[in-house]
């Protein structure tokens, strides 16, 4: 089956475009078709590198997986104690880490692969141990949090588990997003929950959350005043609440229009979504280069 590389937009894609045009090209164009064993070697390598994660992003992803698992178990009527959750977390972390260290991802690119292992970065053991401890603290914080108590008080029939790869149409462009959890309460309000795992608290309404709001308002034909977004940082046990206004929605629409326009303007063929590598210059920010998963390929260009 031949898949078409269709243009789309997401917050992560926007961030990557602004971080480094060359990295953006590698991830969304250069690696296309790399899952096929008959593809040229460079394309296959780019596909492997595309799927790598940094250790911090990996830890955050596993924490999200465990929280989702726990909420699904609760909705199914299964009580899971904290020690069992932590046991599941530790097993998942060990499985991913061991597989990455062994290079399993080179044969199976969708398996966990860490930038640190690919480039043989010397990360002290106590730093790895600290990351694993952070993940445990995140799960413990969530398990004991007021926000979980709040969720449990709602009728489970009102819990909404949204698919991992949601998308909606924005003025002819597919927009992808992933919402952690939602509830439609008795007051016909929708509450979106977003779990954060960074150690710094961000109390601002960001582009990602505004994009979530746009999706929900469009999907349920909802007035912005009926939507609430709660951002809970599981690493530091802090919650922030955001109310949505008409201005929030118009601002995110303007931002997305500009971002989509910028992305398309650099293409060789906008209609067919065709890109030429030489049109995508690498960043001049050396810090970004040092931690880039495409470093080995980009250095050869």
**Is residue 185 within 8 Å of 156, Cβ to Cβ?**
no
Confidence class for position 203, pLDDT limits 50, 70, 90: low
How many alpha carbons fall within 13 Å on the CB side of residue 239? 13
- Give the integer Cα–Cα distance in Å for 279 and 266: 7
Residues 20-28 have a mean pLDDT of 97
pLDDT at residue number 21: 96
SS (H, E, C) the chain: CCCCCCCEECHHHHHHHHHCHHHHHHHHHHCCCCCCCCCCHHHHHHHHHHCCECHHHHHHHHHHHHHHHHHHHHHCCCCCCHHHHHHHHHHHHHHHHHHHHCCHHHCCCCCCCEHHHHCCCCCCHHHHHHHHHHHHHHHHHHHCCHHHHHHHHCCHHHEECCCCCEEEEECCEEEEECCCEEEECCCCCEEEEEEECCCCCCCCCCHHHHHHHHHHHHHHCCCHHHEEEEEEECCCCEEEEEECCHHHHHHHHHHHHHHHHHHHHCCCECCCCECCHHHCCCCCCHHHHHCCCCHHHHCCC
Residue 174 confidence (pLDDT):
96
Mean pLDDT, the chain, whole residue set: 92
Cα separation, 126 vs 91, in Å, equals: 19
Cα–Cα distance, 184 to 182 (Å, whole number): 7
**How far is the C-alpha of 174 from the C-alpha of 187, rounded, in Å?**
31
Dig out the tokens for 68 from the structure: 């989702």
Q: How confident is the model at residue 286 (pLDDT cuts 50, 70, 90)?
A: confident
User: Over the stretch 50-94, which tens digit does the pLDDT of each residue have?
Assistant: 999 999 999 999 999 999 999 999 999 999 999 999 999 999 999
The span from the CA of 252 to the CA of 258, in Å, is 10
Answer for the pair 24, 16: CB distance below 8 angstroms, yes or no: yes
Per-residue pLDDT reduced to its tens digit, 97-142: 999 999 999 999 999 999 999 999 999 999 999 999 999 999 999 9
Name the pLDDT band for 163 (thresholds 50, 70, 90): low
Q: What is the rounded CA–CA span in Å between residue 27 and residue 280?
A: 12
Provide the pLDDT confidence category of residue 200 given band limits of 50, 70 and 90.
confident
Domains and CATH numbers, the chain: 21-149+285-298 (no CATH), 155-244 (3.40.1350)
**Top-ranked range on mean pLDDT: pick from 186-190, 198-202, 245-249:** 245-249
Q: How confident is the model at residue 268 (pLDDT cuts 50, 70, 90)?
A: very high
pTM over the 0.85 mark? yes
For residue 290, what pLDDT band results from cuts at 50, 70 and 90?
confident
pLDDT of 301 higher than 90: no
């Amino acid at each position: 089956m031949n898949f078409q590389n269709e243009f789309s937009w997401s917050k992560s894609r926007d961030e990557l475009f602004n971080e480094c045009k060359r990295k953006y090209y590698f991830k969304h164009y250069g690696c296309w078709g790399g899952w096929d064993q008959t593809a040229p070697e460079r394309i296959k390598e780019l596909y492997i590198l595309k799927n790598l994660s940094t250790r911090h992003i990996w830890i955050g992803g596993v924490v999200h997986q465990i929280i989702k698992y726990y909420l699904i178990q609760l909705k199914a009527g299964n009580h899971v104690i904290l020690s069992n959750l932590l046991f599941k977390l530790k097993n998942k972390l060990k499985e991913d880490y061991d597989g990455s260290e062994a290079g399993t991802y080179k044969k199976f690119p969708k398996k966990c692969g860490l930038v640190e292992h690919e480039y043989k970065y010397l990360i002290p053991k106590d730093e790895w141990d600290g990351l694993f401890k952070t993940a445990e603290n995140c799960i413990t914080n969530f398990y004991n949090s007021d926000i979980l108590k709040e969720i449990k008080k709602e009728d489970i029939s009102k819990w909404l588990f949204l698919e991992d790869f949601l998308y909606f149409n924005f003025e002819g462009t597919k927009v992808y997003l992933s919402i952690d959890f939602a509830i439609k309460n008795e007051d016909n309000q929708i509450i979106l929950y977003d779990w954060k795992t960074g150690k710094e608290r961000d109390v601002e309404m960001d582009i990602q959350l505004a994009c979530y709001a746009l999706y929900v308002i469009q999907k349920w034909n909802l007035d912005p005043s009926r939507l609430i977004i709660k951002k809970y940082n599981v690493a530091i046990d802090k919650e922030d609440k955001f109310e949505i206004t008409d201005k929030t929605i118009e601002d995110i629409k303007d931002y997305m229009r500009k971002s989509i326009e910028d992305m398309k303007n650099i293409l060789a063929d906008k209609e067919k979504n065709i890109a030429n590598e030489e049109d995508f210059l690498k960043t001049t920010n050396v810090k970004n280069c040092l931690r880039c998963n495409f470093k080995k390929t980009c250095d050869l260009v």
